[in-house]
């Protein structure tokens, strides 16, 4: 199983700077001229041929395409030449490895189409009779506001007849029985809007011979007598008959009914062909983009691919539509492009920023916002980086006083399936297209079709779904949706039309072409599916006319012979259950469900350090996390060092609670037996997968030694070798699930990358412990790790063919990607119910204090506090360190005299910090205390509270020289001596500017800080703590440094999980100053992507 090809996404992971993950480490496979990105992956796509019209870029060289199975010819509308191109596709070869050139057989110019002199202005559409032998071509008049024509030709282009139809016939189609031809007559106004012809559908009776066809066989059906109550008028003062612009038509299989898109009106009209009258016009309504699951990227100026839930109502406004029948029901599929009336004489288009003075958004329109939130949002909503660049309409959402109470957008960036019986929605792809293209094309997200520029179309309909068609490949029916701006196709499996599944994205545009000029097949407009039994290759084909590039691409479609196994992996979540910085488990569950729906062959693995870290888990000693993992249906987990924090016996209890195995092949008891199962074997895609676990030997000192007393952690290399040897005869694929990491401070023999180098036979190594985002290829092994705290979820795909792995890809879904996703409902409820049930635990009394333990902000950030002393004493007791230091900013409340509960401690210490120990010398302790004193005498979050030590501050001295008279355990500090320091993990990572700790090796990860304080209080009777002179502060104001006459500022872009205080600390200021600089009414309401003015460092 080692004969593999590592996919492009895994290679990309080696070259992208992970900390800057505005664009995640995603990527599509690019083979030859075709880019593909698989979801379910049941469809194989090959680009086998291309017709090049010769038109200049963006001149409409190919627009609509049709196909004749009898002659093996294709017909393409050439807008550049104003001609019908007849293409010979008879020579196409199945499975062609080269992209064949399709020859032009014949070009019929506009002036040569008709047998009589007609005032024709253009050629717009072509359709073939289902009876064969006859083509219908629609041609608007010159001028375009006059009635147009349909011209009939034989399949070789010879003129047969013509008739006049309504104004601007933009689309033509035959009924399935071949007895009628219908045209969608748009009836567009002239640019000055002084002439606005009515829209209509023309019905041509072609039941007789072409020779006898006459004008009397044409009925033009308008909208004068249609009940249009509740239907949008794009020009509010127009009549509906004139405002309606039919865009596209599909006809029921019994040829009795036609469904007509009125795009600008956001409606579907139903036409009774026998009575030649409209029976109904129904509004399609709107999508509320404020609701989770319906986010979108609204700005082309924010420099990132970020889907947010904006207060916007998306009008469907489909262009192409298609019918599909399944289970006795008929469904209408719509590609929701969006369109506007935009003329010199009248335009409804406007950008949101141009409405800023009139915005008065009403929360009654939006489920995702309260009125208070909308009022706060209004102050910055119209900025370019937010919603300001979005194109909207002046035709909707305006109150009588002229205020804009709702923002409407054009198109929904989705495709939708409707039940034709009542036009009720049964499915909408929501934000799929932008999510899929963001993963498939991280560097080409929302490219326009006129330029290669990242994010350039986000303000205006995004990917822009243009057309949709259905077709059967093998035993499955798919919907193919053309994305006009992105220039790709999205295929969905329609096995269950009420729950379609994304199968494949494919495109033959060159997204890596140098410069801004698009290359390849750009802007799919018209699609034609060719069934296998009608195809020249014997396989199904999709013909796609690309308007901007002037090309017709031919894609060969076959059932895939490959299987895909998806591995979703996480590590070092540390029980970060909620969506705060990370995505939280409810979003993780939603991602897992999404991938399982696409691929039943999905495994969910966890690399450890999962069951400990936050109050949610520690209150019940980890069982609440196991409950969540059971609900999500994890397949396996390995043990991290912090998973032993409750003692290994509790870990065994948790393992018994779990519906999945917790694995460790290198952890043994004194008698040599395994503490936990060493491996598990599962079956997926017909293959057996062996998964073995490895725990870091650092567990011996990165949890309390008593937690692992009596256990032996054998060499990971030895254990991995033994596991591979044991598993190879039993399984087809071997996965190592480890908590080892690649941290340089870890001994080489305990590092995952070293094990991969030393042990052959591991197909995938899922790692944890070092809190890194990793996607590396070492030999034939893919090594992955997905960071920490559910800030991203890792996705590995193994592609299998003939029982062998032929490809491995790795990608990451970030918390920012998940921001607008709908949460997993059951997981969300489980978390809420558990949180509520834990209230009784939080109310448990753990001790008493006879005095107030002071945690007030002005106290703990300026000087010694009895509460600060309690916390640092607890740190010393649990760690055995010489000195303890914690920051005042981490102490968030006081404890009043009387009973103390667990909940009180959580309120005081809400951040879930761990206690860590490290070796530092005396000079480094002094440097740390100087950081804490740097803000004196003002309140400063970095202020240092100490245990086992004392010091004095002279605030009148310069910063960096304020601390003196330091003692450790009653003795003057020795600047050259090493001391064992206990601090919290935030400070150890350099938080609050304690950068002297960043490169120090962590000797031990002790308990959570709140747990240590709870245990300390439980172990000591009635507390009567006081300020005892550990910190002596001479708080005279320092001599002010010269200040510049003007504050120098820069710009900071808000990231997920930020708050104003955290940002302020990074810029040596306070949140109040940032609030003032940015005119923020509510300092608690900032958004990812928002730009803040900050003082220059």
Taking only the tens place, the pLDDT of each residue in 736-759 is 999 999 988 789 999 999 999 999
Write down the pLDDT at residue 5: 37
Name which of 573, 574, 609 is nearest 698 in CA terms. 609
Q: How confident is the model at residue 892 (pLDDT cuts 50, 70, 90)?
A: confident
CB-CB contact of 399 with 357 (8 Å) = no
Write down the pLDDT at residue 1063: 76
What is the rounded CA–CA span in Å between residue 719 and residue 676?
13
Write down the pLDDT at residue 1041: 42
Name which of 895, 1016, 998, 1003 is nearest 947 in CA terms. 1016
Which of 806, 822, 837 finishes a domain?
837
DSSP state at residue 1084: T
Whether residues 813 and 911 fall in one domain: no
Which of 818, 837, 856 finishes a domain?
837
What is the rounded CA–CA span in Å between residue 415 and residue 337?
9
Q: Tens of pLDDT along 598-608?
A: 999 999 999 99
CB-CB contact of 124 with 140 (8 Å) = yes
Give the strand pairing for 712-713 and 667-668: antiparallel
Q: Tens of pLDDT along 934-992?
A: 989 988 889 999 999 999 999 999 999 999 999 999 999 999 999 999 999 889 988 88
Q: Tens of pLDDT along 614-655?
A: 889 988 999 999 999 999 999 999 999 999 989 999 999 999
Q: Tens of pLDDT along 507-520?
A: 999 999 999 999 99
- CATH number of the structural domain spanning residue 1059: 3.10.350.10
Q: Tens of pLDDT along 525-575?
A: 999 999 999 999 999 999 999 999 999 999 999 999 999 999 999 999 999
Whether residues 571 and 716 fall in one domain: yes
Q: How confident is the model at residue 1006 (pLDDT cuts 50, 70, 90)?
A: confident
Whether residues 668 and 717 fall in one domain: yes
Structure token digits, residue 1022: 């009635």
The DSSP result for 444-502, as a single string, is: STT--SS---TTTTTTTTTT-EEEEEEEEETTEEEEEEEETTTTEEEEEE-SSTTS-EE
Whether residues 1014 and 1057 fall in one domain: no
Residue 358 lies in a domain: no
CB-CB contact of 187 with 224 (8 Å) = no
What's the Cα-to-Cα distance from 507 to each of 489, 494, 570, 633, 967, rounded to whole Å? Answer: 6, 20, 31, 35, 69
CB crowding 619-654: b at 16 or more within 10 Å, else e:
bbbbbbbbbbbebbebbbbbbbbbbbbbbbebbebb
What is the rounded CA–CA span in Å between residue 256 and residue 273?
5
Residue 1027 lies in a domain: yes
The range of the structural domain enclosing residue 667 comes to 565-837
Name which of 285, 281, 263 is nearest 272 in CA terms. 281
Q: Tens of pLDDT along 829-880?
A: 999 999 999 988 899 999 999 999 999 988 999 999 999 999 999 999 999 9
- CATH number of the structural domain spanning residue 618: 3.60.21.10
Partners of residue 393 on adjacent β-strands? 349
The DSSP result for 532-599, as a single string, is: GGG-TTSSEEEEEEETTTTEEEEEEEEE---EEEEEEEE---TT--SSSSS--HHHHHHHHHHHHHH-
Write down the pLDDT at residue 705: 80
Residue 1055 lies in a domain: yes
Whether residues 860 and 971 fall in one domain: yes
- CATH number of the structural domain spanning residue 868: 3.90.780.10
Name which of 186, 188, 153 is nearest 170 in CA terms. 186
What is the rounded CA–CA span in Å between residue 749 and residue 685?
34
Write down the pLDDT at residue 1059: 66
What is the rounded CA–CA span in Å between residue 160 and residue 151?
8
Structure token digits, residue 330: 């008929």
In three-state secondary structure terms, 898 is strand
What is the rounded CA–CA span in Å between residue 17 and residue 300?
23
Whether residues 799 and 651 fall in one domain: yes
Write down the pLDDT at residue 28: 53
Higher pLDDT, 815 or 13: 815
Partners of residue 481 on adjacent β-strands? 468, 490
Whether residues 814 and 918 fall in one domain: no
What is the rounded CA–CA span in Å between residue 449 and residue 62?
14
Whether residues 1068 and 1012 fall in one domain: no
Residue 1077 lies in a domain: yes
* Average confidence (pLDDT) over 81-101: 95
What is the rounded CA–CA span in Å between residue 801 and residue 783?
22
- Which residues are within 8 A (CB) of 831 and not within 5 positions of it... i.e. 6 or more apart? 577, 578, 585, 586, 616, 628
Per-residue pLDDT at 3 exceeds 60: no
Angle, alpha carbons 771-773-778 (nearest 5°): 110
Per-residue pLDDT at 13 exceeds 60: no
DSSP state at residue 867: H
Write down the pLDDT at residue 986: 86
Helix (H) or strand (E) holding 78: strand 73-78
Share of the chain above pLDDT 90, in %: 83
User: Where would I find the beta strands (DSSP E) of 948-1048?
Assistant: 949-954, 963-968, 971-972, 978-984, 1004-1008, 1031-1034
Write down the pLDDT at residue 703: 82
Q: Tens of pLDDT along 770-816?
A: 999 999 999 999 999 999 999 999 999 999 999 999 999 999 999 99
Per-residue pLDDT at 483 exceeds 70: yes
User: Where would I find the beta strands (DSSP E) of 960-1047?
Assistant: 963-968, 971-972, 978-984, 1004-1008, 1031-1034
Write down the pLDDT at residue 1057: 61
What is the rounded CA–CA span in Å between residue 37 and residue 221?
44
Whether residues 894 and 789 fall in one domain: no
Give the predicted TM-score (pTM) of the model. Answer: 0.84
Q: Cα-flanking dihedrals φ and ψ of residue 524, to 5°?
A: -65, 130
Write down the pLDDT at residue 360: 96
Write down the pLDDT at residue 1048: 59
Structure token digits, residue 504: 């494949």
What's the Cα-to-Cα distance from 308 to each of 386, 434, 454, 583, 785, rounded to whole Å? Answer: 9, 11, 18, 14, 27
CB-CB contact of 91 with 117 (8 Å) = no
Write down the pLDDT at residue 1035: 61
Structure token digits, residue 344: 């010199």
Which of 1034, 1059, 1086 finishes a domain?
1034
Whether residues 762 and 822 fall in one domain: yes
Q: Tens of pLDDT along 210-244?
A: 999 999 999 999 999 999 999 999 999 999 999 99
In three-state secondary structure terms, 738 is strand
Residue 366 lies in a domain: no
Residue 311 lies in a domain: no
Q: How confident is the model at residue 347 (pLDDT cuts 50, 70, 90)?
A: very high
Whether residues 817 and 862 fall in one domain: no
- Which residues are within 8 A (CB) of 659 and not within 5 positions of it... i.e. 6 or more apart? 630, 633, 634
Write down the pLDDT at residue 1084: 58
Q: Tens of pLDDT along 854-863?
A: 999 889 999 9
Write down the pLDDT at residue 25: 28
Domain count of the fold of the chain: 3
What is the rounded CA–CA span in Å between residue 504 and residue 1011?
49
As a whole number, the mean pLDDT across the chain is 92
Largest pairwise CA distance in the chain: 115
State how far Cα 825 lies from the chain centre.
18
Tokens 């439980």 correspond to what residue? Answer: 1018
Write down the pLDDT at residue 1091: 77
Write down the pLDDT at residue 1068: 66
Residue 508 lies in a domain: no
Residue 158 lies in a domain: no
CB-CB contact of 766 with 693 (8 Å) = no
Question: CA neighbours within 13 Å on the CB side: how many for 252?
Answer: 17
Whether residues 987 and 1054 fall in one domain: no
Write down the pLDDT at residue 907: 85
């Amino acid at each position: 199983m080692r004969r593999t090809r590592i996919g492009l996404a895994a290679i990309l992971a080696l070259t992208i700077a992970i900390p800057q993950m505005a664009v995640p480490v995603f990527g599509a496979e690019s083979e030859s001229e075709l880019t593909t990105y698989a979801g379910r992956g049941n469809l194989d796509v090959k680009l086998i041929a291309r017709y090049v019209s010769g038109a200049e870029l963006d001149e409409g060289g190919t627009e609509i395409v049709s196909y004749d199975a009898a002659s093996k010819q294709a017909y393409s509308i050439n807008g550049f030449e104003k001609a019908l191109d007849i293409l010979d596709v008879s020579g196409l070869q199945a499975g062609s490895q080269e992209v064949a050139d399709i020859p032009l057989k014949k070009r019929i110019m506009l002036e040569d189409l008709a047998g009589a002199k007609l005032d024709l202005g253009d050629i717009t559409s072509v359709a073939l009779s289902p009876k064969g032998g006859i083509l219908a071509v629609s041609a608007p008049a010159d001028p375009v506001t006059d009635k147009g024509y349909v011209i009939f030709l034989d399949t070789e282009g010879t003129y047969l007849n013509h008739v006049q139809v309504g104004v601007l016939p933009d689309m033509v189609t035959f009924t399935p029985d071949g007895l009628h031809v219908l045209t969608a007559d748009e009836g567009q106004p002239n640019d000055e809007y002084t002439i606005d012809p009515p829209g209509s559908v023309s019905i041509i009776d072609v039941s007789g011979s072409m020779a006898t066809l006459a004008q009397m066989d044409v009925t033009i059906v308008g909208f004068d007598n249609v009940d249009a109550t509740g239907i949008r008028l794009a020009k509010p003062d127009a009549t509906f008959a004139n405002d309606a612009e039919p865009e596209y038509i599909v006809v029921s299989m019994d040829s009795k009914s036609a469904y007509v898109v009125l795009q600008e009106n956001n409606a579907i009209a139903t036409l009774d062909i026998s009575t030649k009258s409209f029976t109904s016009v129904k509004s399609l309504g709107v999508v509320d983009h404020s609701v989770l699951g319906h986010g979108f990227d609204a700005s082309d100026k924010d420099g990132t691919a970020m889907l947010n839930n904006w207060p916007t109502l998306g009008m469907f406004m489909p262009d192409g539509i298609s019918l599909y029948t399944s289970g006795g029901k008929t469904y209408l599929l719509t590609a929701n492009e969006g369109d506007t009336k935009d003329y010199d004489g009248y335009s409804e288009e406007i950008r949101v920023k141009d409405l800023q003075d009139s915005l008065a958004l009403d929360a009654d329109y939006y489920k995702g916002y309260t009125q208070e939130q909308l009022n706060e949002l209004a102050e910055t909503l119209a900025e370019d980086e937010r919603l300001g660049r979005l194109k909207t309409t002046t035709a909707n959402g305006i109150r009588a006083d002229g205020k804009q109470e709702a923002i409407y957008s054009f198109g929904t960036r989705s495709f939708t399936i409707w039940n034709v019986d009542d036009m009720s929605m049964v499915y909408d792809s929501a934000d799929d297209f932008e999510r899929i293209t963001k993963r498939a094309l991280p560097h080409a997200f929302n490219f326009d079709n006129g330029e290669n520029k990242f994010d350039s179309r986000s303000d205006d309909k995004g990917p822009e779904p243009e057309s949709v068609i259905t077709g059967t490949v093998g035993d499955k029916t798919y919907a193919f949706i053309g994305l006009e701006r992105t220039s790709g196709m999205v295929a969905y499996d329609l096995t269950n039309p009420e729950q379609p599944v994304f199968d494949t994205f494919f495109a033959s545009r060159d997204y890596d072409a140098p410069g801004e000029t698009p290359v390849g097949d750009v802007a799919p407009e018209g699609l034609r599916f060719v069934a296998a039994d009608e195809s020249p290759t014997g396989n199904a084909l999709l013909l796609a006319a690309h308007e901007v590039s002037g090309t017709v691409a031919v894609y060969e479609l076959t059932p895939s012979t490959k299987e895909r196994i998806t591995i979703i992996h996480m590590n070092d979540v540390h029980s970060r259950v909620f969506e705060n910085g990370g995505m939280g488990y409810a979003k993780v569950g939603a991602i897992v469900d999404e991938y399982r729906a696409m691929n039943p062959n999905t495994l969910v693995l966890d690399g450890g350090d999962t069951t400990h870290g936050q109050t949610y888990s520690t209150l019940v000693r980890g069982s609440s996390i196991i409950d969540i993992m059971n609900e999500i249906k994890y397949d396996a987990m390995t043990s991290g060092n912090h998973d032993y924090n409750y003692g290994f016996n509790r870990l065994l209890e948790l393992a018994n609670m779990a519906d999945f195995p917790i694995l460790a092949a290198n952890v043994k008891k004194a008698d040599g037996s395994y503490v936990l199962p060493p491996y598990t074997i599962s079956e997926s895609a017909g293959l057996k997968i062996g998964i073995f676990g490895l725990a870091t030997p650092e567990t011996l000192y990165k949890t309390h030694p008593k937690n692992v007393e009596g256990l032996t952690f054998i060499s990971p290399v030895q254990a991995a070798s033994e596991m591979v040897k044991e598993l190879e005869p039993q399984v087809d694929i071997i996965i190592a699930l480890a908590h080892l990491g690649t941290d340089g401070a870890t001994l080489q023999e305990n590092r995952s990358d070293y094990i991969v180098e030393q042990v052959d036979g591991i197909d995938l190594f899922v790692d944890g412990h070092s809190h890194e985002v990793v996607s590396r290829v070492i030999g034939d092994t893919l090594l992955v790790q997905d960071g920490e705290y559910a800030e991203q979820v890792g996705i590995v795909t193994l592609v299998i063919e003939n029982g062998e792995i032929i490809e491995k890809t790795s990608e990451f879904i970030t918390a920012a990607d998940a921001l607008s996703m709908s949460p997993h409902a059951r997981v969300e409820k489980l978390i809420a119910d558990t949180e509520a049930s834990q209230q009784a635990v939080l109310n448990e009394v753990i001790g008493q204090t006879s005095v107030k333990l002071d945690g007030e902000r002005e106290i703990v950030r300026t000087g010694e506090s009895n509460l600060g002393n309690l916390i640092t004493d607890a740190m010393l007791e649990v760690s055995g360190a010489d000195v303890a230091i914690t920051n005042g900013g981490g102490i968030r409340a006081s404890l009043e005299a009387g009973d103390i509960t667990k909940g009180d401690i959580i309120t005081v210490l809400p951040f879930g910090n761990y206690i860590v120990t490290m070796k530092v010398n005396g000079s480094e302790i002094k440097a740390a205390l100087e950081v804490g004193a740097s803000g004196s005498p003002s309140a400063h979050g970095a202020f240092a509270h100490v245990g086992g030590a004392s010091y004095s501050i002279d605030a009148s001295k310069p910063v960096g020289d304020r601390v003196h008279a330091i003692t450790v355990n009653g003795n003057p500090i020795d600047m050259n001596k090493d001391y064992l320091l206990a601090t919290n993990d935030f400070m150890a990572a350099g938080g609050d500017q304690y950068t002297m700790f960043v490169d120090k090796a962590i000797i031990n990860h002790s308990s959570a800080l709140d747990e240590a304080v709870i245990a300390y209080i439980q172990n000591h009777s009635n507390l009567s703590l006081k300020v005892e002179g550990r910190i002596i502060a001479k708080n005279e104001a320092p001599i002010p440094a010269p200040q510049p006459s003007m504050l120098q500022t820069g710009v900071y872009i808000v990231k997920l999980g930020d708050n104003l205080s955290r940002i302020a600390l990074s810029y040596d200021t306070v949140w109040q100053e940032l609030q003032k600089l940015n005119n923020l009414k509510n300092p608690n309401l900032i958004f990812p992507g928002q730009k803040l003015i900050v003082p220059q460092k």
